[in-house]
Amino acid sequence: MRGRSFSPKDSFVEAYLGPEPCALGPSAAGSSTPYPRVSWQDLSIVNRQSEQTMDYRAPQTDMRFVLHEVLKVADHYQQFGMDDPPGEDLINAVVEEGAKFCEQVLLPLNRSGDEEGCHIEDGVVTTPKGFKDAFDQFVENGWSGLTSPTEFGGQGLPESVGVAIKEMIDSCNLSWGCYPLLSHGASEALKHHGEPWQREAFLRPIVEGRWTGTMCLTEPHSGSDLGLLRTKAEPQADGSYAITGTKIFITGGEQDLSENIVHLVLARISDAPSGTKGISMFVVPKFKVDQQGAMGERNEVSCGSIEHKMGLKASATCVMNFDGAQGWLIGPPNKGLNCMFTMMNTARLAVGIQGLGLIEITYQNALAYAKDRLQMRSLSGPKYPDKPADPIIVHPDIRRMLLTQRAFAEGGRVLSFEAALLVDTSERHADAEVRAEADAQLGILTPIIKALLTEMAVECTYHGVQTLGGHGYIAEWGQEQLARDARITTIYEGTTQIQALDLLGRKVMGGKGQALGTLIEKVTANCSAAEAHEPLKAAAARMQETAADWAALTQEVAKRAMADADEVGAAAVDYLFLSGYILVGDALLRSALVAQQAHIDAKLRDGKQALLNFYVDRILPRVGQHAASIRAGGKSLTALPESMFDAA
């Protein structure tokens, strides 16, 4: 893609996926063997090079296309009443500088951080070598407050600008990116629910990057069912609370990056009702903070241990013990879950973007290998007769895996960036009705983005391993780390199953289908617009049929659920995947439609169209499988007695 001109005679792979491949290792031209001979010494050189960095360049061209052409973010910013709304030049400059930081500072630390991991000694956690220096640069360059309010020291840029930076961070170093991720969520919770003194005392230092934040929900006996939590909060004479309990799986609960750590903790006040109605949220700093914002002595909160994990080894996942620690109530008593959902929804979108970042880098890594690796000949005849074998990118199933990765990267980027724009609209637009509509649409998109893009990150990173073959399985090439890192993203901040129940049960049925109906209408309108363009007509017609069945299927599930509530649980995951595949298809259709404009580069236009055709032919049919599973109902899932699950 980089700098090559497009001509119709180019093959699809050459025109869209990249430049002509070169052989791996020394040239074997003229050799009688059909396979390249690569010495172990040559391979070790490649391996040593891969230790320094993977093949990644920030996809700035596509980011600009999505922001400026598909979403036209600058036009939206004009409606927000901002004093100085950012234009294309400023947005592009931010993305360009962010790319430099991610490529040059974070990417080289990814593998070394994974190999070293975090260390704990006497409750003190140390991050891998280079992580603190990178965090200091991040803060010094103003990235920690990029989208935070200016009144608290931030730069006040929209979330739809910050999302591009986040994607690049997550591509280059997912473990490192977990530290600022939770700080952003804590900032949102404090901004929306904190008292004025709390925002000044806790929010400002987080925005400035001096402090970081965490989210403390899970307990050893209580995961997704927060109604079971036992952490207690006892009122104190000075207006604070003494927090006692244990929280597990706390990302960044202890680390050496920041001066202080602000824990947002769910706990029960002594006389609170049982269940989720009795949960309150508290801000509990590592070092005590008074109402004037002065930092004092060490609080009674400590890290008992760090987890030994499958992936994300450079992200400290901590067991946190609160032993009468001083905390301050945020929001009304017993309304902590409402406050926490502000942080949780921010985090869920952020985790979806983690999936997007992993898809992008695994695509680039697999693509680089596929263009270089020589293996066998094309079934339809040699494509590179001057070489001893063809690069594996000529083989159809290698293309299938690469194009699957590319489709979810580009379609997922449109969805993620659009969700960030909905966040901006829901918070900044002057019209209350527009804000409410944006919030409703965001409610539908959030569980889909979180679940689908993380599940696709698992699929795509495994495609990457498969593309690299044996080299994908060994550490030197970096691909296996991406597969390990991806796995947790489908679990934390609410599993795929939780997201599916949230989508179907709470957002679709709980909202009586109104927000979903609006979304389906938009998809249908996009299909109608695309059908007017001959190159897109067939794909648009297929999408139109799928969207119509989406609406009909939703009504069928709702009717069955009235008779048997288990039908919701039986259908939920299939329904989420079905919805997600349709929305990714819609995103690719919109991209291809926008690319039909006269000023768009012909290579970009033809690439978007070709990717859409691939998706409609090879990925969209998955919708039919999920629809069939939903229509089969849940009886076969619930009919088997529990005792019959036991081994014979």
User: pLDDT digit string (tens) for 525-561?
Assistant: 999 999 999 999 999 999 999 999 999 999 999 999 9
Residue 117 predicted with pLDDT over 70: yes
Confidence of residue 516 (pLDDT cuts 50, 70, 90): very high
| From 254, 480, 493, 567, active-site residue | 493
Residue 218 predicted with pLDDT over 50: yes
Mean pLDDT of the chain: 90
Q: How far apart are CA 506 and CA 444, in angstroms?
A: 10
Query: Do residues 321 and 286 touch, judged by C-beta distance below 8 A?
Result: no
Residue 422 predicted with pLDDT over 80: yes
Q: How far apart are CA 354 and CA 348, in angstroms?
A: 10
Q: How far apart are CA 320 and CA 245, in angstroms?
A: 8
Residue 643 predicted with pLDDT over 90: no
Predicted local distance difference test score (pLDDT) of residue 53: 52
Tokens of 418: 């659009």
Predicted local distance difference test score (pLDDT) of residue 30: 34
Predicted local distance difference test score (pLDDT) of residue 648: 57
Predicted local distance difference test score (pLDDT) of residue 21: 37
Pair type for strands 317-330 and 301-306? antiparallel
Confidence of residue 221 (pLDDT cuts 50, 70, 90): confident
Helices 131-140, 174-193: axis angle to 10 degrees equals 40
Q: How far apart are CA 135 and CA 231, in angstroms?
A: 32
Residue 619 predicted with pLDDT over 80: yes
User: pLDDT digit string (tens) for 23-36?
Assistant: 333 333 333 333 33
The terminus-to-terminus CA distance of the chain in angstroms comes to: 57
Known catalytic membership, residue 459 = no
Tokens of 156: 């006040």
Predicted local distance difference test score (pLDDT) of residue 604: 95
Q: How far apart are CA 590 and CA 493, in angstroms?
A: 30
User: pLDDT digit string (tens) for 360-389?
Assistant: 999 999 999 999 999 999 999 999 999 999
Pair type for strands 260-269 and 232-235? parallel
Q: How far apart are CA 516 and CA 444, in angstroms?
A: 7
Residue 445 predicted with pLDDT over 60: yes
Residue 22 predicted with pLDDT over 60: no
Residue 413 predicted with pLDDT over 90: yes
Tokens of 375: 């293996």
Element (H, E) at 199: none
Q: What percent of the chain has pLDDT over 70?
A: 92
The overall pTM is greater than 0.85:
yes
Within 8 A by CB and 6+ apart from 36, the residues are: 23, 24, 25, 28, 374, 387, 388, 389
Query: Residue 191 burial (CB < 10 Å; 0-12/13-18/19+)?
Result: middle
Q: What values do phi and psi take at 63, rounded to 5?
A: -60, -45
- What does the domain layout of the chain look like in residue ranges? 502-636
Q: How far apart are CA 40 and CA 476, in angstroms?
A: 14
Predicted local distance difference test score (pLDDT) of residue 45: 34
User: pLDDT digit string (tens) for 57-68?
Assistant: 999 999 999 999
Predicted local distance difference test score (pLDDT) of residue 346: 85
Query: Do residues 212 and 281 touch, judged by C-beta distance below 8 A?
Result: no
Predicted local distance difference test score (pLDDT) of residue 341: 80
Handedness of CA 195, 196, 201, 205 (dihedral sign): positive
What number is the average pLDDT over the span 85-114? 97
Confidence of residue 224 (pLDDT cuts 50, 70, 90): confident
Q: How far apart are CA 293 and CA 620, in angstroms?
A: 54
> Residues 446, 449, 454, CA angle at the centre, nearest 5°?
130
Q: How far is CA 224 from CA 188, 243, 320, 401, 499, in A?
A: 21, 21, 18, 34, 11
Handedness of CA 393, 396, 398, 399 (dihedral sign): positive
Predicted local distance difference test score (pLDDT) of residue 23: 33
